[in-house]
Amino acid sequence: MYSEIQTYALQGLKAIPVRAEIDISSGMPMVSMVGSLGSEVRESRERVWAALRNVGLEVPASHITINLSPAELHKDGAAYDLPIAVGLLQALEYFPPEAAEGMLFLGELGLSGEIKPVRGTLPILRDAAARGIRECIVPAQNAAEGSVVPEMKVRGAEDILQVLHFLQGAGEEAIPAQAPPKEDDVASTRHQGIPDFSEVRGQQIAKRAALISAAGFHSLLMTGPPGAGKSMLAKRMPGILPPLGTDEALEVTSIYSVAGKLSPGESLIRERRFQAPHHSVSRAALIGGGRDARPGAITLAHRSVLFLDELPEFSRDSIDALREPLEEHRIRIDRAAYSAEYPADFLLVCAMNPCPCGYYPDRNRCKCTEPQLARYLGKVSGPILDRIDLCVELKAVELSEITSKAPSSGETSAQMREKVIAARQIQSDRYRGTPYRFNAELPSTAIERYCALGDAESAYLQTIYEKLGMSARSYHRTLRVARTIADLEGSDLITSAHLIEAVSYRPDRSYWR
């Protein structure tokens, strides 16, 4: 007796079709599992046999061979439990073969027969739908995320008996198809729980830098003493970013699905996320990796905000690991057993004190020695500093502003978000038909075309270039920032005023002398 059941494997975000092949024959009773299997897959034999036995479905003593094809693809995880169990039941003629034909099965089995949630359901179902599969049975807790794939009829099952009854012809009532999420329900969650910029007292220059950062997707570094409001500003950044578009939402939701970070019953992520790993984070946790190649914090921040507080407290290795994703907007993880690639197009926001105690250059309060200061600032390498578009220094907020009873006169997050959306629409129109989406993505080869200057502006920037000893990278970065400032004002031309403001956001190299 032989059966084949369709399932899937994951390598990063890439979903790969797998066939669970079961052969039952006479001979010495034994169970053989083959197909380049990880430890979790090999253990499925114990889970599947116990689950079937505990729901009253005995598997007779036979010579059973289970193959997960293709054999050269390494397979990890417990999602193969359900397809193996269904394949066994089909081979034992509990239901006709045509009942499972054209269907996809995913799920981990508990010893009681319960079907437990698995990672990566959404990217798997998206690939399966593109290959013509139109129906699937997945764990009930994964049905909501799968339901966002419009071409797929998703059925969420609670246990193996429910699956068997459905395949035996019990009909729609056995496992009803999951209804797709309503746009209104998803939209109602946008920007909820994100604090508002209007709550931040003072720091108008830093707020302006945050606006420019969000509008052009420019990386931002804030320096200043403890309590100046660096973290307050960073936490409000997602609230001024536009909601995720449909394609972006599917991409971000797929990442969280693979990482196992979706909440039970969560379908489609529409709001921008805020990732703030602690400075003690390992390099693998930051960029991704581990035994099963899970995405790291930089991938979880894809299309969203990655906040690194106390930047020099991160290990030098972790900080320098950001160089590739900041340039390439992706991260590749190569190990002996696997290779995975994840998107990592994030808005980097960093905060740091100017010295270990936090009060340099105020020598009345700062007691740090020159070697201490050099070691502290040396954690932030020149190549990383060169990849930060905006640097702004915050001062301590005046007591009068803190204690003022008057309402804050600053813009609200909603007002700032409207400006960001308008500036991004200008960029979308400008770069239509090109690989670029934001001003921050412009390579040096495209600067001259999209950031053209008049004679007066060119002369001014040449003077600044020579006076400040700017590098070519700093020169191009200044033009990209000036382009965003012009877009915020709705100006087709980059003026001297835009250049002056852009230059003011250069990192103060006197700190890194």
- The CATH number of the domain holding residue 75 is 3.30.230.10
Shared domain for 155 and 201, answered yes or no, is: no
- Does residue 288 form part of some domain? yes
pLDDT, one tens digit for every residue, the chain (513 residues):
899 999 999 988 999 999 999 999 987 888 999 999 999 999 999 999 999 999 999 888 899 999 999 999 989 999 999 999 999 999 999 999 999 999 999 999 999 999 999 999 999 999 999 999 999 999 999 999 999 999 999 999 999 999 999 999 988 889 999 998 876 554 444 455 789 999 888 889 999 999 999 999 999 999 999 988 999 999 999 999 998 988 999 999 999 999 999 987 788 998 899 999 999 999 989 998 877 788 999 999 999 999 999 999 999 889 989 988 998 899 998 876 678 899 999 999 999 999 999 888 888 889 899 899 888 888 888 888 888 999 999 988 775 666 665 556 579 999 999 999 999 999 999 999 999 999 999 999 999 999 999 999 999 999 999 988 888 888 999 999 999 999 999 999 999 999 999 999 987 655 655
- Whole-angstrom distance, CA of residue 232 vs CA of residue 384: 23
- Does residue 185 form part of some domain? no
Output the CA–CA distances (angstroms, integers) from residue 284 to 24, 330, 364, in the order listed. Answer: 43, 15, 41
Shared domain for 140 and 202, answered yes or no, is: no
Shared domain for 222 and 349, answered yes or no, is: yes
- Whole-angstrom distance, CA of residue 61 vs CA of residue 50: 14
Res 97: pLDDT: 92
Q: SS3 for 313?
A: helix
- Whole-angstrom distance, CA of residue 321 vs CA of residue 277: 14
* Segments in 194-348 forming alpha helices (H): 204-216, 230-235, 246-259, 283-287, 297-300, 316-320, 323-328
- Does residue 187 form part of some domain? no
Q: Residue 65's domain spans which residues?
A: 2-170
- Does residue 178 form part of some domain? no
Shared domain for 104 and 51, answered yes or no, is: yes
How many structural domains compose the chain? 2
Shared domain for 487 and 343, answered yes or no, is: yes
